């Protein structure tokens, strides 16, 4: 398990450095790989910068995530967050 590492304000990511996900892109990834049931995303938390490995599964109702959270910041666009930043710091 990755421990939480707080960043001081001058270490914050620039918006263009953040990993952002669009749901349509996830759908396309799974459509292009019909035999793949889990895709692992290697990324960093948008708040603290910790390394994350998020397993994504395509479900009947959408997507399942294990190892991190996707937080909507604009219509159909999501930032990646670790458990600590999402749960403890309030997402």
Cα 42 from chain centre? 9
Number of domains in the chain: 1
Average model confidence (pLDDT) across the chain: 78
Question: Is residue 78 included in any domain, yes or no?
Answer: yes
Range of the domain at 52: 18-88
Whether the predicted model's global pTM rises above the 0.85 cut: no
Question: Is residue 9 included in any domain, yes or no?
Answer: no
3-state secondary structure of 23: helix
Give the mean model confidence (pLDDT) for residues 45-65: 89
Tokens standing for 75?
């219509």
Question: Is residue 4 included in any domain, yes or no?
Answer: no
Question: Is residue 74 included in any domain, yes or no?
Answer: yes
């Amino acid at each position: 398990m990755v421990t939480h590492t707080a960043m001081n304000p001058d270490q914050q990511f620039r918006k263009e450095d953040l990993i952002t996900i669009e749901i349509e892109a996830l759908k396309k990834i799974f459509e292009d790989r019909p035999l793949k049931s889990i895709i692992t995303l290697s990324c960093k938390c948008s708040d603290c910068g910790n390394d994350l490995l998020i397993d994504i599964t395509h479900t009947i109702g959408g997507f399942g995530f294990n190892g991190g959270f996707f937080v909507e910041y604009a219509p159909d666009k999501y930032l990646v967050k670790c458990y600590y930043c999402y749960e403890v710091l309030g997402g």
